[in-house]
Structure 1
Amino acid sequence: MQSRLSIARLLIVQTGSTHLHGDYPRWFERALGFEMPLIRAHAGERLGSALDRVRPQGIIVTGSPLSVIEKASWMLELGDDLLRVGARGTPVLGVCFGHQLLARAAGGDVVQNPRGREIGTVRVQLTEAGRKDVLFAWARGPEIEVQATHVDAVDPLPAGATVLASNENTAAQAYRLSETVAGVQFHPELWAAAMRDLILSRRDKL
């Protein structure tokens, strides 16, 4: 799988910054094993110029300490742009903030989760659609363990979205909007030791 991924041209759309174990793009590069071009959307870099330069075969939209609830103009523009790119056939995966950004752009909403913060190694149950989806082809059963840290959640989902995974805290842990656009609330790129360090770094705020 890694060899096929490394051949593909993947573009990272960074939506915020962290200094834990590098930055958000570094997490994905560590997980996949190769470097990827990126744009810093939160710093004003535009998606269009990167598409012309990179001609990506897939796009990953990162997490962020920011909130989609803020409805900043760059967030609204980016969400619309990403949906258009997906509609033209380029796969787009939103992770955490990215998952929420795509859902809102498609007509859903994002709220502070009434069940509270979810942080740590959590269990997520795949739906029947999720068990058949290529996004979870690696899963060996109907339940997976993943790393998650979020306060906001998608609710409701956009019309026509298919739930791929859920748990007691968050009904929309993963969804698919179309053949090319999907989102996951959790962080597939994070590893358990990094999550431990993240929790320790935030212990005064938790």
Structure 2
Amino acid sequence: MQSRLSIARLLIVQTGSTHLHGDYPRWFERALGFEMPLIRAHAGERLGSALDRVRPQGIIVTGSPLSVIEKASWMLELGDDLLRVGARGTPVLGVCFGHQLLARAAGADVVQNPRGREIGTVRVQLTEAGRKDVLFAWARGPEIEVQATHVDAVDPLPAGATVLASNENTAAQAYRLSETVAGVQFHPELWAAAMRDLILSRR
């Protein structure tokens, strides 16, 4: 019963496409164990109509092979719309590209990381705020292992944002903008075997 309720109340905002182990929404569905409604924002689908249809209790913004640095008009509009939805009380979580999209909409800079691409299973350290944050309630200690692949990074964070996690490659591995809006640079939905296949596909 819980899964059925969750299916109806979570919305995936897809921001790009991939074909490894299924598309980005499939990664989240595999991780969470159920299918979710989605909009393909990168293909021109609008957030507003989906909100009316789904009335979500939470929104997940996916990763993408695209770059927030491009500042495409749909990216700018989507980021602003998502912050407004969060301000009205709906939780919004940005993942990788989504993390960068939300941060930039809130006033952050997104740059090509001078430390280079981060890819593979990486270690991330939780800050004191991160250890107390509900986003990391599952963590057993101050350091976690996660799957990551990105070349862009948020630097610096917008005023008022709280860093939840960081490592030597990326200072803002996770942040919270407000009670309802947060982002993670890594991919909590990815599993180690999929990351290995991704690395091999890029050789």
With the length of structure 2 as denominator, give the TM-score of the two structures.
0.97
- Measure, in 2, the Cα distance between the counterparts of 1:171 and 1:2: 36
The percentage of counterpart residues that share the same residue type is 100
Q: 1:41 to 1:142 in 2, by over 3 A?
A: same
Structure 2 counterpart SS, 1:121: strand
- Measure, in 2, the Cα distance between the counterparts of 1:5 and 1:179: 23
Residues 126 and 164 of structure 1 are in contact (CA less than 8 Å); yes or no, is this contact kept in structure 2? yes
Structure-2 residue corresponding to 1:120? 120
The offset of 1:106, in angstroms, is 0.1
Structure 2 counterpart SS, 1:36: coil
The offset of 1:135, in angstroms, is 0.1
Residues 67 and 97 of structure 2 are in contact (CA less than 8 Å); yes or no, is this contact kept in structure 1? yes
The offset of 1:8, in angstroms, is 6.2
Residues 60 and 93 of structure 2 are in contact (CA less than 8 Å); yes or no, is this contact kept in structure 1? yes
- Measure, in 1, the Cα distance between the counterparts of 2:98 and 2:131: 22
Q: 1:168 to 1:64 in 2, by over 3 A?
A: same
Aligned counterparts, 1:1-206, within 5 A: 6=6, 9-203=9-203
CA-to-aligned-CA distance 1:43-95 (integer Å, 9 cap, x gap): 00000000000000000000000000000000000000000000000000000
The offset of 1:6, in angstroms, is 3.1
Residues 2 and 32 of structure 1 are in contact (CA less than 8 Å); yes or no, is this contact kept in structure 2? no
- Measure, in 2, the Cα distance between the counterparts of 1:84 and 1:192: 34
Residues 172 and 185 of structure 2 are in contact (CA less than 8 Å); yes or no, is this contact kept in structure 1? yes
The offset of 1:119, in angstroms, is 0.1
The offset of 1:5, in angstroms, is 7.6
Q: 1:21 to 1:2 in 2, by over 3 A?
A: farther
Residues 2 and 33 of structure 1 are in contact (CA less than 8 Å); yes or no, is this contact kept in structure 2? no
CA-to-aligned-CA distance 1:137-183 (integer Å, 9 cap, x gap): 00000000000000000001010000000000000000000000000
CA-to-aligned-CA distance 1:74-129 (integer Å, 9 cap, x gap): 00000000000000000000000000000000000100000000000000000000
Structure 1 counterpart SS, 2:124: strand
- Measure, in 2, the Cα distance between the counterparts of 1:65 and 1:106: 22
Residues 13 and 60 of structure 1 are in contact (CA less than 8 Å); yes or no, is this contact kept in structure 2? yes
The offset of 1:7, in angstroms, is 6.2
The offset of 1:3, in angstroms, is 5.1
Residues 61 and 92 of structure 1 are in contact (CA less than 8 Å); yes or no, is this contact kept in structure 2? yes
- Measure, in 2, the Cα distance between the counterparts of 1:178 and 1:8: 24
Q: 1:184 to 1:2 in 2, by over 3 A?
A: farther
Superposition CA RMSD, Å: 1.5
Residues 148 and 186 of structure 2 are in contact (CA less than 8 Å); yes or no, is this contact kept in structure 1? yes
